[in-house]
Structure 1
């Protein structure tokens, strides 16, 4: 068994996340731009579908206060353990983790009682239509959290809860989520796009 086939964990120190922290390009990256981080502007953010916490960690590393919500007990436990390992790492990680608050629960129920300028939603993406295998890690996450059949409902709740914007992280070529109004603008990457809904 190779290391890549080991148990799933939320790792904020090593691998791709550590590399992105050191060499990622700061606020010029697509996600920070979509969330409204720019010179002199650091919104208060909720990551409503925390998963492995990588997007939340990136945003916190750029100075944002981020509340992470994860409803899967197993994924929440992985996040909790990963955040604690990073906190104990020191070297700046302690400060980043201090800007991250992890909640366990259903975002549809929690969001109306929380305050945020911007809400990020990254639901489990629809299965790929081509035959390319999804990364093992993503398959492991899908095995834990299943498919987010309530993505449209969550997006609606977020649109009613955010002060300034809601951002949907979605496959670049995937169709929009049905029943949701058109986004205000998009930021397109190679495989991912950010649909930005301005509110307020």
Structure 2
């Protein structure tokens, strides 16, 4: 896991950068702040190593001339168009019932934002201190956005390893309506070729791959499924349409889209 990073900022944002540095230090990440004249695209191209940046828009991850932060503001258009009927994820997670839901594979939090917008009360779990800090910063800005405030306020961020968190909930006897799993590096059917539009990984995912190299292709989420089944009546797994089943376990029900599918696992005897 990345335990030390340089943080670039301009003099005007030094105090803010120091605050982020203190938070990251408390989470086990050593940050070396470097004040530069101008945090611009040219500077990022000339400094391609993985780093953090702080500017007027908050905390960013950067590498290879690119910047990335969870873009919840960029999801506004989708949220405005979304409905319980139009979104496949809403049917899979039974969002019409406004469930108590754990998203155990946080990523950039876009699915959690959508589910919260459609009524779910989401516990978003992330173990990586840098990614968690990016999510925390993004949520704070969303809470100050009049369009995103309601959805962001229904999301609780938890800094924890998902396997540990799910196990802890089981030990405490806590149950949830839904656990949602969308592994960062889903395994595809090796006999199928990925569509061309998926061949080039999006820029945001490229940076996440640099941040999380120790997980690589082995971070498939297989260990999370049985843990989730202990505490939720409904476990929903998002997969590429042609991917093998998570943990090799066939599903009770599926919702199929053009590029992805949602596999459902039901625990009818679980007491809520």
TM range (shorter): 0.7 to 0.9
TM value normalised by structure 1: 0.87
Contact 1:27 1:37 in 2 (8 A): no
Structure with more of its chain in strand, by fraction: 2
CA deviations over 1:37-81 (Å, ceiling 9, x no partner): 23xx22111000011000110011111110000111111011001
Q: Which has the higher contact order (CA 8 A, sep 6+)?
A: 1
TM value normalised by structure 2: 0.65
SS at match of 2:67: coil
Matched, 1:126 2:196: no
Contact 2:101 2:121 in 1 (8 A): yes
Closer, same or farther in 2 for the Cα pair 1:6/1:150, shift >3 Å? Answer: closer
Contact 2:179 2:235 in 1 (8 A): yes
Query: Residue 166 of structure 1: which of 223, 232, 235 is its match?
Result: 235
Note the 1:10-159 alignment, pairs <5 A.
Answer: 10-14=70-74, 17-38=75-96, 41-89=97-145, 91-112=146-167, 113=169, 114-124=174-184, 125-126=186-187, 129-130=193-194, 132-145=199-212, 146-147=215-216, 148-149=218-219, 151-159=221-229
Which 5+ residue runs of structure 1 have no aligned equivalent?
Answer: none
Contact 2:76 2:148 in 1 (8 A): no
Contact 1:49 1:123 in 2 (8 A): yes
Which 5+ residue runs of structure 2 have no aligned equivalent?
Answer: 1-40, 43-64
RMSD: 2.4
Closer, same or farther in 2 for the Cα pair 1:46/1:117, shift >3 Å? Answer: same
CA deviations over 1:132-151 (Å, ceiling 9, x no partner): 22222222222223335361
Figure out how many residues of one structure are paired with residues of the other and give that number. 193
